[in-house]
Amino acid sequence: MAEGFAAVQIPGPLEVVSADPLVVLDGAHNPEAVRALAISVSEVFPSVRRMWSWGAWVPGAR
């Protein structure tokens, strides 16, 4: 698992990683950034059904 996480690349803002299905990654890291992300996604992809997933990393946690 550690090797998998070590290989992860952090995306830029609104990075489209798949077109079909549409998958967009973003590194929103605080509540304000998440709100801005939600607004941006609604504006950039207005007719696309959205499903959200969120994850966090806590240093030292297992």
Q: Report pLDDT digits (tens) over 29-49.
A: 888 988 998 998 899 889 888
Q: Are 22 and 16 in contact (CB under 8 A)?
A: yes
Q: Residue ranges of the domains in the chain?
A: 11-44
The pTM for the full model equals 0.60
Q: Report pLDDT digits (tens) over 8-34.
A: 665 567 788 888 888 888 888 888 988
The CA distances from residue 1 to 4, 6, 7, 41, in Å, are 5, 9, 10, 30
**Beta-carbon-side half-sphere exposure of residue 3 (alpha carbons within 13 Å):** 0
